[in-house]
């Protein structure tokens, strides 16, 4: 019988504690204080996190971050807070020893020190160190009453009562219980009131004051009907059942038992519902997880797609730009080819023109020779010997001019096809001029032209001999052509201090206008047009001269006055002395 009672009591005793702890975290006052501190120590991230998790009742995280804060910072105030957090969290996790040691570490300057005491009291109670618990609770009780620190004095009284009850100091227990009852009836906290009533009932029951006990049991039972708290209902009805059982009213006892078991079922149901809800939640989470993984896979797929897309775009772009570049190149090439074609066409036209002029000239020369030869034959037949000399001279003149034309043509062709042999050597200019003149002696005497070679005998130039001869031959030929009878042609050198030797070919001929000079010296490969077929030749000779002079590293300028004469000024590199 007694054993039975004790069993009940142990159930009641813990009830208020449980109840109390539920109220505590929602205490607005405590939260406000913590909030202020959090703002004050904004920079202490660990503290902030610990505080946030504390408010959210996430005890493990609170423990972790408060420990981090303790390691990183030595601020005493913050350390107190952290120890408080840790103590509280340990208590919630039922690690009472650790909770107690943490709480002891808090300095007594701490603002929430009463709360610490209260907590220590509760912890001692849990550890069944009732004497200590009473000491701590008394400390709290000593302080002026206030609701600011997040605890109710009524609860303190109740806890004191429980302690005395355990120490079997029933009078003191009764006194505190009633003090608490008085306050709690004012507060209208039904659930704690039920617990208190049951505690009082338990107190009387232990003293075998059954009647008084029953009154409080019933009171608790009646109150339990008003609340929607299955635990309280179950405990109240169970207690009633035991009471009735002890009184021998088994029928009623059975009814209470049944009610109790009904509430128990409800709790279980609720648990089941919670379990189901939990399961559903888990399922939902799993579902979500699945979705997430699917999304992840999709994302991955998209990512790879994007990558492939990007790469292919890049590749396409590359191909495109390559294509554009190739096209541009092609266009450029086409342009070059086109311009080359135009140039080639021009050159070809020039060549055609040249051929037509040359063949015409040659044809007329040969024709003249033919006519002259037939005349010669006739003269021989008729034995008109006086005519012979004249005709022969004429023939040789024609042959000479035709030969020089052909010679020029040959050299021009060689030059164009780049087959001309070119070998620079030291050349004695005076001798060369003499050699050239030698071939033109008859022509000069025919026109009674005075020829003068005043080239300095010490002049050696560094040129290709044959091309120099071609140049001089052509220029002398021209000079003779344009100089009237009894004229004068003079070759002389002008001393310069440069590395170039200036050779002047001065004739007293027709001369030419500045336009003609410019035309002659124009650096194109087109041949001058034949304006006056009698005097002006193909222009081939002049072209050849210019190219040969250029090839020899020399230059040509022309000074001329109409009807007075022309100066062709050539300059060639001198032979370097001693080298």
Partner 1 sequence: MDNINVLIIEDTPEQSDTLSKVLLANNYNIAGVAQNYTDALTLFYKNPVDIVVIDVFLDGKPDGITFAETISIVPNAAKPFVFLTSSHDRQIFERAKLTKPFSFLMKPFNELEIIYALEMAVEKFYDQTNVFLSEDQDTIISNDYMFIKKRNVLKKVSLKDILYIEVEDRYCNIITEKEKFVILISLTKISALLDKNKFIRTHRNYLVNSDTIEEIILADNLVILKGNHKVNLSDNYKDFIKKIKTLS
Sites for partner 1 among residues 216-275 (CB under 8 A): none
CA nearest to 88, candidates 79, 98, 78 = 98
Q: Cα-flanking dihedrals φ and ψ of residue 189, to 5°?
A: -85, 95
Considering only 289, 299, 393, 431, the residue that binds partner 1 (CB under 8 A) is 431
Q: Which is nearer to partner 1, 173 or 468 (CB)?
A: 468
Q: Which is nearer to partner 1, 455 or 545 (CB)?
A: 455
- The piece of 190-198, 200-208, 417-425, 442-450 that touches partner 1 (CB under 8 A) is 417-425
Query: Cα separation of 443 and 335, whole Å?
Result: 52
From 251, 438, 534, 579, residue interacting with partner 1 (rule: CB under 8 A):
438
- Residue 71, helix vs strand vs coil: helix
Report yes or no: 471 and 545 within 8 Å, Cβ to Cβ.
Answer: yes
**Binds partner 1 by CB under 8 A, chosen from 22, 329, 434, 450:** 434
Single residue of 439, 453, 516, 555 touching partner 1 by CB under 8 A: 439
How far apart are the C-alpha atoms of 359 and 161, rounded to whole Å?
Answer: 147
CA distance 274 to 259: 22
**Pick from 108, 419, 498, 515: which binds partner 1 (CB under 8 A)?**
419
Q: Which residues contact 183 (CB under 8 A, 6 or more apart)?
A: 152, 153, 154, 157
- Chain positions 152 to 191 lying near partner 1, rule: CB under 8 A, are none
The span of 202-210, 223-231, 247-255, 415-423 binding partner 1 (CB under 8 A) equals 415-423
Is residue 535 classed as helix, strand or coil in its secondary structure?
coil
**Spatial CA neighbour of 489 closest among 568, 398, 401:** 568
Instruction: Report whether 434 contacts 454 (CB < 8 A).
Output: no
Smallest distance from partner 1 to CB 501, Å: 14
Give the nearer residue to partner 1 in terms of CB position, either 243 or 489: 489
Burial class (CB in 10 A: 0-12, 13-18, 19+), 28: exposed
Identify the residue among 6, 338, 392, 414 touching partner 1 (CB under 8 A). 414
Q: Is 488 helix (H, G, I), strand (E, B) or coil?
A: strand
Contact between 458 and partner 1 by CB under 8 A: the answer reads yes
DSSP state of 527: P
Piece of the chain touching partner 1 by CB under 8 A; list 179-187, 378-386, 416-424, 561-569: 416-424
The answer to whether 450 contacts partner 1 (rule: CB under 8 A) is no
Q: Return contacts of 492-500, CB within 8 angstroms, 24+ apart.
A: 492/452, 492/454, 492/455, 493/429, 493/454, 493/455, 493/456, 493/459, 494/569, 495/456, 496/571, 499/573, 499/574, 499/576, 500/554, 500/571, 500/572, 500/573, 500/574
Of the listed pieces 66-74, 120-128, 422-430, 488-496, which binds partner 1 according to CB under 8 A?
Answer: 422-430
Distance CA 413, CA 417 (A): 6
Task: Report how far residue 193's alpha carbon sits from residue 219's, in angstroms, rounded to the nearest whole number.
Answer: 10
- Among residues 18 and 403, whose Cβ is nearest to partner 1? 403
Interaction between residue 399 and partner 1 (CB under 8 A): no
Beta-carbon contacts of residue 410 (< 8 Å; ≥ 6 apart) = none
499 part of the interface to partner 1, by CB under 8 A: no
User: Judged by CB under 8 A, which stretch of 154-162, 352-360, 420-428, 563-571 contacts partner 1?
Assistant: 420-428
Q: How many residues bind partner 1 (CB under 8 A)?
A: 21
- Looking at 132, 172, 262, 428, which residue binds partner 1 (CB under 8 A)? 428
Binding characters for partner 1, 291-330, by CB under 8 A (x = yes): ----------------------------------------
- The verdict on 457 binding partner 1 (CB under 8 A) reads yes
Does 466 engage in binding with partner 1 (CB under 8 A)?
yes
Q: Which stretch binds partner 1 (CB under 8 A): 185-193, 327-335, 453-461, 518-526?
A: 453-461
Residues forming contacts to partner 1 in the complex (CB under 8 A) are 410, 414, 419-421, 423, 426, 428, 430-432, 434-435, 438-439, 457-458, 460, 466, 469, 575
């Amino acid at each position: 019988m007694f054993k039975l009672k004790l069993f009940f009591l142990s159930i009641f005793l813990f009830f208020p504690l449980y109840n109390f702890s539920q109220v505590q975290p929602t205490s607005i006052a405590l939260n406000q204080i913590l909030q202020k501190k959090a703002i004050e120590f904004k920079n202490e991230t660990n503290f902030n996190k610990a505080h946030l998790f504390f408010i959210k009742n996430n005890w493990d995280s609170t423990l972790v971050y408060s420990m981090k804060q303790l390691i990183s910072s030595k601020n005493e105030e913050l350390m107190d807070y952290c120890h408080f957090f840790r103590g509280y969290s340990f208590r919630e996790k039922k690690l009472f020893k650790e909770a107690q040691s943490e709480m002891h570490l808090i300095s007594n300057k701490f603002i929430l020190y009463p709360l610490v005491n209260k907590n220590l009291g509760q912890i001692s109670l849990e550890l069944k160190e009732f004497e200590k618990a009473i000491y701590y609770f008394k400390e709290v009780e000593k302080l002026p009453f206030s609701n600011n620190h997040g605890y109710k004095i009524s609860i303190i009284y109740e806890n004191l009562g429980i302690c005395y009850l355990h120490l079997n100091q029933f009078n003191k227990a009764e006194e505190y219980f009633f003090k608490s009852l008085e306050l709690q009836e004012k507060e209208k906290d039904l659930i704690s009131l039920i617990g208190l009533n049951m505690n009082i009932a338990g107190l009387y029951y232990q003293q075998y004051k059954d009647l008084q006990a029953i009154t409080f049991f019933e009171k608790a039972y009646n109150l339990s009907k008003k609340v929607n708290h299955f635990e309280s209902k179950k405990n109240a009805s169970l207690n009633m059942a035991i009471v009735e059982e002890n009184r021998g009213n088994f029928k009623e006892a059975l009814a209470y038992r049944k009610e109790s078991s009904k509430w128990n079922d409800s709790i279980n149901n609720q648990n089941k519902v919670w379990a189901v809800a939990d399961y559903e939640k888990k399922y939902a989470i799993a579902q979500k997880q699945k979705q997430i993984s699917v999304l992840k896979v999709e994302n991955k797929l998209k990512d790879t797609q994007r990558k492939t897309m990007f790469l292919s775009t890049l590749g396409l772009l590359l191909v495109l730009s390559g294509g554009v570049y190739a096209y541009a190149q092609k266009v450029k090439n086409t342009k070059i080819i086109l311009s080359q074609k135009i140039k080639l066409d021009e050159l070809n036209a020039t060549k055609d023109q040249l051929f037509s002029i040359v063949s015409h000239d040659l044809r007329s020369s040969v024709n003249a020779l033919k006519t002259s030869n037939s005349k010669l034959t006739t003269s021989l037949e008729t034995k008109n010997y006086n005519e012979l000399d004249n005709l022969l001279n004429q023939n040789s003149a024609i042959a000479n001019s035709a030969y020089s034309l052909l010679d020029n043509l040959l050299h021009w062709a060689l030059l164009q096809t780049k087959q001309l042999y070119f070998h620079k050597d030291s050349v004695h200019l005076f001798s060369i001029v003499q050699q050239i003149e030698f071939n033109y002696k008859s022509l000069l005497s025919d026109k009674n032209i005075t020829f003068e070679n005043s080239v300095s005998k010490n002049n050696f130039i560094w040129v290709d001999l044959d091309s120099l001869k071609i140049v001089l031959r052509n220029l002398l030929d021209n000079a003779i052509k344009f100089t009237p009878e009894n004229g004068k042609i003079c070759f002389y050198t002008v001393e310069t201090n440069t590395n170039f030797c200036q050779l002047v070919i001065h004739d007293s001929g027709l001369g030419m206008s500045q336009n003609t000079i410019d035309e002659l010296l124009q650096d194109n490969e087109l041949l001058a047009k034949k304006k006056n077929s009698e005097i002006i030749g193909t222009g081939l000779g002049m072209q050849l001269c210019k190219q040969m002079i250029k090839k020899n590293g020399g230059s040509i300028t022309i000074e001329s006055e109409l009807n007075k004469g022309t100066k062709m000024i050539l300059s060639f590199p001198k032979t370097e002395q001693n080298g």
